[in-house]
Amino acid sequence: MHITAYICLAIATLCWGGNTVAGKLALGHVSPMTLTFLRWTIATALIAAVSIPQIKKDWPVVRKKLPLLLFYGMVGYTLFNAMLYSAVKYTTAINVAIEQAGIPMLIFLLNLIFFRTGVSAAQVAGFGMTLVGVALTASHGDIAALLTLGLNRGDALMLVAVAAYSIYTIFLRWKPPVDWRTLMAFPALAAALTSLPLLLWENAAGNVQMPDGKGWIITFYTAIFASLVAQILYIKGVEWIGANRASLFINLVPVFGTLLSVLLLGEALQLFHFVSLVLTLGGIAIAEKGRPKLSASTAPASPMD
């Protein structure tokens, strides 16, 4: 069972790593806000097709928590992906992939600030390493550039995405006790609805590009694999080995994203990228290993949506 769980979790993170590359491949074939809107509209339709009976069962609980579920979709689904798909217009997919490794660090900080979760010296050291790694990537190997606010626009957008997803994850501690299909359906619907104003804004700016043939392939990849397949496989992995152990696999997202960027996009893996990966992933590993026994886990229920 453990081997099956590991395979499921590896495929899930591969799909999420591919989402970064899909955003880069979409350039010139479908515009960012159009991709975000179509992705979640298609995903909502697919989820609804298999979830209506369960949604009806869960509706009494959902009705009380509807604003929270809509918030999940707006922040964790729409804002995160809109920023990611916009970021790859201005920076490399490798940068975007590595910067996502900053999510666990920011979750840790938010938990520390707002919920006073336990902290160990190993966690402080580990996330300090992660911070340096993310800063190195965002500054393209020149951390001094951050001190002069010389931050690439794409990397700045991706840091907004990282903050959005971290906030979304923190709020998952209050998720209602409903079936996972319901927990997917309402945020996906919220994402489709909240991405519509972004699509209208993109249209008003004259930047809308409806998908061509390649654009539709990319759109369906994000809707089916990055949204549904990855989610289902991750949930199954959590059921089999637990949230704490499953959450460690999320650290593979920047690894797969980086490898796919090199293999499919032909992007160059520079020395600072390699150093950043070692620092960010090594820092996360140290922080996880040194986590206080009684500290609360905040493993995302739906990571990298």
Question: Tell me, what's the pLDDT at 295?
Answer: 45
Type of residue found at 42: I
Question: Tell me, what's the pLDDT at 116?
Answer: 77
Question: Tell me, what's the pLDDT at 298?
Answer: 45
Question: Tell me, what's the pLDDT at 1?
Answer: 60
Question: Tell me, what's the pLDDT at 145?
Answer: 61
User: pTM above 0.95?
Assistant: no
Question: Tell me, what's the pLDDT at 265?
Answer: 94
User: pLDDT tens-digit profile of 146-173?
Assistant: 555 556 899 999 999 999 999 998 998 8
Mean pLDDT of the chain: 87
Question: Tell me, what's the pLDDT at 129?
Answer: 84
Question: Tell me, what's the pLDDT at 29?
Answer: 98
Cα distances from 190 to residues 14, 76, 213, 278, in angstroms, run 25, 10, 27, 36
Question: Tell me, what's the pLDDT at 163?
Answer: 94
* Residue ranges, the chain, pLDDT below 50: 294-300, 303
Question: Tell me, what's the pLDDT at 293?
Answer: 59
Question: Tell me, what's the pLDDT at 147?
Answer: 58
Question: Tell me, what's the pLDDT at 81?
Answer: 96
Question: Tell me, what's the pLDDT at 165?
Answer: 92
User: pLDDT tens-digit profile of 199-240?
Assistant: 999 999 999 999 999 999 999 999 999 999 998 898 888 888
Question: Tell me, what's the pLDDT at 251?
Answer: 78
Question: Tell me, what's the pLDDT at 148?
Answer: 59
